[in-house]
A and B are shown apart, each in its own frame.
Chain A
Amino acid sequence: MTVTSDRARLTEPPPAPAPAPFPTGTQRLPMAKALNLGLRRALANDPRTLLMGEDIGRLGGVFRVTDGLFAEFGDDRVVDTPLAESGIVGTAIGLALRGYRPVCEIQFDGFVFPAFDQITTQLSRMHYRSQGRLRLPVVIRIPYGGGIGAIEHHSESPEALFAHTPGLRVVSPSNASDAFTMIQQAIASPDPVIFLEPKGRYWEKGDVDLDAPLLAPHGSPSDLDHARVVRAGTDVTIVAYGPTVATALKVAEAAAAEGTSIEVVDLRTISPLDTATVAASVRRTGRCIVTHEAPVLYGSGAEVAARITEECFYHLQAPVLRVGGFHTPYPVAKIEHDYLPGLDRLLDAVDRALAF
């Protein structure tokens, strides 16, 4: 006779529902769901892919991006880890050395720093240190950015710190469709990828083609390397990525009403930087504004500005302007929208660029 103890009855979670079949066709989905489906497809396609992180199992992650994956793939492949970020990334490195493709979830941007050492001194360099003998196909997913009314350390934008580290790829999707494809491309990448998810856009919907052919073969240049012009224009180029792309598109709408034509470039990849796509745009418009939520001082916008100045000097009709966070810690939630690059500050920059 099997006896179930009271303790077991109290701690045993309810049985999970059977996983729904993988959807097909083009569907209108929030970014969080697109990421979920991208992860699900990667797990289904390659038994050596596994997810690791805090609360990503039964809970499905604090943002529910891994919802349902624990039930479908089990606790060996969707791993609730100890609450230790360095341990998550450090053991992911070991798993990758053994031939696995770990996808780590860092719960919030501000909590990546305990893992910063493992990411910058180990993950980024193993391929270099080993003369190419060891590959670490590890993805670090980080919900990042602000605007959600959060408490401290939950709204940071640390991309420049990783982009400054050779050996890492740093990418950020701005919409659901890119999120679906880019997460799968990141997982397929033989190089480590810092995958920055704009958490403030998790619930914004977009059309996602779930049957789109996905992955360039390993080792060949893939879509993950390229920026994209997401709105054509003639007067000013706004370079944005992640959470600021939607803002830039709103700016373009508003400016169009006033007769100014704005081109918006979605950078998509921060490292490597697709300077060619940005430069081609700036040669058309002659003016360039870079925007991100991170502080502008030593930010990724500074790199874009420097490179555009070097490559497009004779095409520029105004200095490259930057619109982003200030050189302060991320402020309290009640005033965060005064810190973030919003519609008004970007329109102000457009005016300044046109005034030259």
Chain B
Amino acid sequence: MSTSAPAADGPLTDEGLVQLLTPAGERVAHPTYDAWAEDLDGDRLRAMYRDMVLTRRFDLEATSLQRQGELGLWAQSLGQEAAAVGSGHALRPQDHVFPSYREHGVAHVRGLEMTDLLRLFRGVDHGGWDPAEHGFHLFTLVIGSHTLHATGYAMGVQRDGLVGTGDPTRDTAVVTYFGDGATAQGDVSEALVFASVNQAPVVLFCQNNQFAISEPTTRQARVPIADRAPGFGIPSVRVDGNDVVASCAVTRQALERARSGGGPTFIEAFTYRMGAHTTSDDPTRYRTSEQEEHWRRRDPIERLRVHLERTGELPEVFQAQLAAESDAFGEHIRTTVRAMGHPSPHTMFDHVYATPNAVVDAERAWFTQYEQSFVDHDGRQAAGGHR
């Protein structure tokens, strides 16, 4: 049995993908999804372009910071900006996102202070931001676990009576992002079951970037991943994930279905992880440079740039401003990360429980006393202390 199926087969087929913008940057008509993209004028598309450019800048800066030893690890989103930014633009303020750790574009669109995302990778925080502030949950590093949290959260939204009221400022949807690898996890199947039988207002957004570290999607599935959802009673759609317009349109439709009480939708965004899984990975061991080159020619940012240029919607002054903004953003990221303080060891005892806990309190007290034992009578850290 071959371990590398031809790219056009099974779960890696590009048949049936919703596409509104061709790789050459040409806007093409679609009978269903034009209606969900008709208001995406020059201003909106430029806003998406800006978000993709800044997301990529953030990603490249983070990669550099990891190489410089400033971050312990980094998970790149290189090449996946369109699916993230496009779907992010479909969200309303009251919607809630349960992301995977590669949805930097969604975080950016939700208005997070992006350097907060780097706290986890620098090793100073397990979280780093307030999920309530931007409707953007913390990362869940156990793959697929958060799809159940999203589904439960959506069940809560139902109980809050915030589905199908007809008020666009109140009706609420939940979206959860996960990769092709995650779809093999039992929790994702259970999330599909719970979402379906409860008709929960949740959109399950699968970023099929074709790799779970080294394993191609053919190791997770025999058929297109989106084909699974109808078996659970959930409608699904495959979208060209490198097409920001189509990604926005299909997500808008799915979110609206959820908000209006129509239940869950499964979206498979077919894209390509142009970078490594993380900075610890080496993709040259499992894929070819020809394949990478093929996808580099389908770069999602370049696609929109060509489209905007062709339609006369990318004035030079905008490009110059964006370049300057991007440089300033890069500087901000570098400066902020390098200034992140070293956490006090005592903080490891904080927030284990919401209520006082005798065991944790006793261990904290012991640790404090132990630390004090290294301090001499003049208050200095004694020689031979543990650090």
Instruction: Say yes or no: is A346 at the interface (Cβ < 8 Å to chain B).
Output: no
Chain B interface mostly helix, strand, loop or mixed? helix
The stretch of B28-36, B148-156, B297-305 that contacts the partner chain: B148-156
Instruction: Contacts A130-B131, A131-B125, A272-B359 given; indicate if A97 touches B353 (C-beta within 8 A).
Output: no
The stretch of A24-32, A117-125, A317-325 that contacts the partner chain: A117-125
Instruction: Say yes or no: is B193 at the interface (Cβ < 8 Å to chain A).
Output: yes
Residues of B within 8 A of A117 (CB): 142, 145, 187
Instruction: Say yes or no: is B339 at the interface (Cβ < 8 Å to chain A).
Output: no
Whether B194 and A219, one on each chain, are in contact in the complex, defined by CB atoms closer than 8 angstroms, is: no
Instruction: Contacts A132-B350, A189-B355, A190-B354 given; indicate if A82 touches B193 (C-beta within 8 A).
Output: yes
| Closest beta carbon of chain A to B233's beta carbon, Å | 12
| Closest beta carbon of chain A to B280's beta carbon, Å | 21
Instruction: Contacts A84-B190, A84-B194, A191-B353 given; indicate if A122 touches B156 (C-beta within 8 A).
Output: no
- Report how far A126 CA is from B193 CA in the complex, Å: 24
| Closest beta carbon of chain B to A93's beta carbon, Å | 5
Whether A91 and B355, one on each chain, are in contact in the complex, defined by CB atoms closer than 8 angstroms, is: no
Whether A90 and B190, one on each chain, are in contact in the complex, defined by CB atoms closer than 8 angstroms, is: yes
- Report how far A64 CA is from B222 CA in the complex, Å: 44
Whether B152 and A93, one on each chain, are in contact in the complex, defined by CB atoms closer than 8 angstroms, is: yes
| Closest beta carbon of chain A to B101's beta carbon, Å | 13
Instruction: Say yes or no: is B197 at the interface (Cβ < 8 Å to chain A).
Output: yes
Chain B residue nearest to A48 (CB atoms) is B159
**A-B pairs with beta carbons under 8 A, tally:** 142
| Closest beta carbon of chain A to B29's beta carbon, Å | 39
Whether B148 and A131, one on each chain, are in contact in the complex, defined by CB atoms closer than 8 angstroms, is: no
Instruction: Say yes or no: is B126 at the interface (Cβ < 8 Å to chain A).
Output: yes
Instruction: Say yes or no: is A176 at the interface (Cβ < 8 Å to chain B).
Output: no
Whether A87 and B359, one on each chain, are in contact in the complex, defined by CB atoms closer than 8 angstroms, is: no
Which of the four size classes fits the interface of chain B?
35 or more
Which residue of A82, A87, A134 has the most chain B CB atoms within 10 A of its CB atom?
A: A87
Residue in contact with A128 in the complex, picked from B126, B131, B150, B193, CB distance below 8 Å: B126
Interface flags, A88-128, vs B, CB<8A=1, else 0: 01111111111110000000000000100110011001111
Instruction: Say yes or no: is B378 at the interface (Cβ < 8 Å to chain A).
Output: no
Instruction: Say yes or no: is A81 at the interface (Cβ < 8 Å to chain B).
Output: yes
Residues of B within 8 A of A90 (CB): 145, 147-149, 151-152, 187, 190-191
- Report how far A169 CA is from B355 CA in the complex, Å: 11
Instruction: Contacts A90-B191, A117-B142, A130-B138 given; indicate if A98 touches B160 (C-beta within 8 A).
Output: yes
Chain B residue nearest to A89 (CB atoms) is B148
Instruction: Contacts A93-B152, A94-B152, A133-B130 given; indicate if A166 touches B159 (C-beta within 8 A).
Output: no
Instruction: Contacts A132-B351, A132-B354, A272-B359 given; indicate if A91 touches B145 (C-beta within 8 A).
Output: no
- Report how far A78 CA is from B147 CA in the complex, Å: 22
Q: Find residues 144-172 in chain B having any chain A CB closer than 8 Å to their own CB.
A: 145, 147-157, 159-160
Residues of A within 8 A of B358 (CB): 225, 272-276
Whether A86 and B187, one on each chain, are in contact in the complex, defined by CB atoms closer than 8 angstroms, is: yes
Whether A81 and B353, one on each chain, are in contact in the complex, defined by CB atoms closer than 8 angstroms, is: no
- Report how far A308 CA is from B130 CA in the complex, Å: 42
- Report how far A272 CA is from B155 CA in the complex, Å: 32
Instruction: Say yes or no: is A334 at the interface (Cβ < 8 Å to chain B).
Output: no
Instruction: Say yes or no: is A173 at the interface (Cβ < 8 Å to chain B).
Output: no
Instruction: Say yes or no: is B379 at the interface (Cβ < 8 Å to chain A).
Output: no
| Closest beta carbon of chain B to A52's beta carbon, Å | 9
Which residue of B148, B157, B159 has the most chain A CB atoms within 10 A of its CB atom?
A: B148
- Report how far A128 CA is from B349 CA in the complex, Å: 9
Whether B351 and A95, one on each chain, are in contact in the complex, defined by CB atoms closer than 8 angstroms, is: no
Whether B152 and A127, one on each chain, are in contact in the complex, defined by CB atoms closer than 8 angstroms, is: no
Residues of B within 8 A of A87 (CB): 148, 187, 190-191, 193-194
Instruction: Say yes or no: is A135 at the interface (Cβ < 8 Å to chain B).
Output: yes
- Report how far A190 CA is from B140 CA in the complex, Å: 21
Residue in contact with A92 in the complex, picked from B142, B152, B197, CB distance below 8 Å: B152
Whether A127 and B353, one on each chain, are in contact in the complex, defined by CB atoms closer than 8 angstroms, is: yes
- Report how far A135 CA is from B131 CA in the complex, Å: 12
Chain A residue nearest to B145 (CB atoms) is A122
Instruction: Say yes or no: is B317 at the interface (Cβ < 8 Å to chain A).
Output: no
Instruction: Contacts A84-B193, A122-B140, A133-B130 given; indicate if A91 touches B152 (C-beta within 8 A).
Output: yes
Residue in contact with A82 in the complex, picked from B138, B147, B197, B360, CB distance below 8 Å: B197
| Closest beta carbon of chain B to A185's beta carbon, Å | 11
Instruction: Say yes or no: is A7 at the interface (Cβ < 8 Å to chain B).
Output: no
30 A-B Cβ contacts within 8 A? Answer: A82-B193, A82-B194, A84-B194, A86-B148, A86-B190, A87-B190, A87-B194, A91-B149, A93-B148, A94-B153, A94-B156, A95-B152, A95-B156, A95-B159, A100-B159, A118-B145, A127-B351, A127-B354, A128-B351, A129-B138, A133-B127, A133-B130, A133-B132, A169-B353, A190-B354, A191-B354, A191-B355, A219-B354, A272-B357, A272-B358
Interface residues of A (CB under 8 A from B): 50, 76, 81-82, 84, 86-87, 89-100, 114, 117-118, 121-122, 125-135, 166-167, 169, 189-191, 218-221, 225, 271-276
- 3 interchain residue pairs of minimum CB distance: A94-B152, A90-B148, A98-B156
Known: A95-B155, A127-B353, A166-B352. 17 other contacts (CB 8 A): A82-B190, A93-B149, A95-B152, A97-B152, A98-B159, A117-B142, A118-B145, A118-B148, A118-B187, A122-B145, A128-B126, A130-B127, A132-B350, A190-B354, A225-B358, A274-B358, A275-B358
